[in-house]
Chain A
């Protein structure tokens, strides 16, 4: 079974631009979560999607948004980029159902650099 894939792997943008990151979960997984990882803040939860609906949301400004498609693929968008948005963005998928113990499988991440 293929793992979680994220595209692109690396991205360089300038302040004020917007960016869209993509995540394809493991086949059959319906839950997709997004995290931002920075050296200073560690791993911060952005949002989780399940069956095309946002199920949970972290404490990030409205510039950060996401969506999930019917095939469970997910995208996140960041508008009006700031220098502080430079980070590794990780996507994780988990198997169907509402089991709180579900293991998350992470993708390799997208390294975003904002200049």
Chain B
């Protein structure tokens, strides 16, 4: 399957700590995107990283991509309670359809 797989499934941290979640996949990709989903809501796009890029930043978010290991990581620095959500990676390979992993559930305790 070309579906991305997030790891860990669940992560619980204290406010102010950093949160790291990973995404692994099995095929070559055009790009990889990270999304956030608050409980029962739609997905919000966070960052897109192309296959020829290695790192991107957006505010407190840092995404890395290692195509040789077929993995990506999302780092949230100085986490806040409002960061509590599920985080998904979506990979695009040769078609317009992104395939999503099952997500990492992040809980940030105030």
- A residues apposed to B, CB below 8 Å: 4, 31, 33, 35, 42-43, 45, 48, 55-56, 58, 88, 90, 92, 98, 100-109, 111
B105 to chain A, nearest CB (A): 11
B88 proximity list for chain A (CB < 8 A) = 43
Q: How many residues of B contact A (CB 8 A)?
A: 24
A106 proximity list for chain B (CB < 8 A) = 35, 42-45
Q: Given known contacts A101-B30, A103-B45, is B103 in contact with A58 (CB within 8 Å)?
A: no
Stretch from B19-27, B57-65, B74-82, B92-100 at the A interface: B92-100
Which single member of A31, A35, A88, A101 contacts B92 (CB below 8 Å)? A101
Are B50 and A105 within 8 A (Cβ)? no
| 18 A–B contacts from the bound complex (CB under 8 Å) | A4-B42, A43-B88, A45-B97, A45-B99, A58-B97, A92-B43, A98-B96, A100-B30, A100-B94, A100-B96, A101-B92, A103-B33, A104-B43, A104-B98, A106-B45, A107-B42, A109-B41, A111-B40
Cα–Cα, bound, A43→B97 (Å): 12
Output the nearest chain A residue to B95 by Cβ-Cβ distance.
A56
Cα–Cα, bound, A108→B33 (Å): 19
Are B33 and A90 within 8 A (Cβ)? no
Which single member of A55, A56, A90, A98 contacts B43 (CB below 8 Å)? A90
Beyond A42-B103, A48-B96, A55-B96, list 13 extra A-B contacts (CB 8 Å): A33-B97, A35-B100, A45-B99, A98-B96, A100-B96, A103-B33, A103-B48, A104-B43, A105-B45, A106-B35, A109-B40, A109-B41, A109-B42
A48 proximity list for chain B (CB < 8 A) = 96-97
A36 to chain B, nearest CB (A): 11
Q: Is B67 an interface residue (CB 8 A)?
A: no
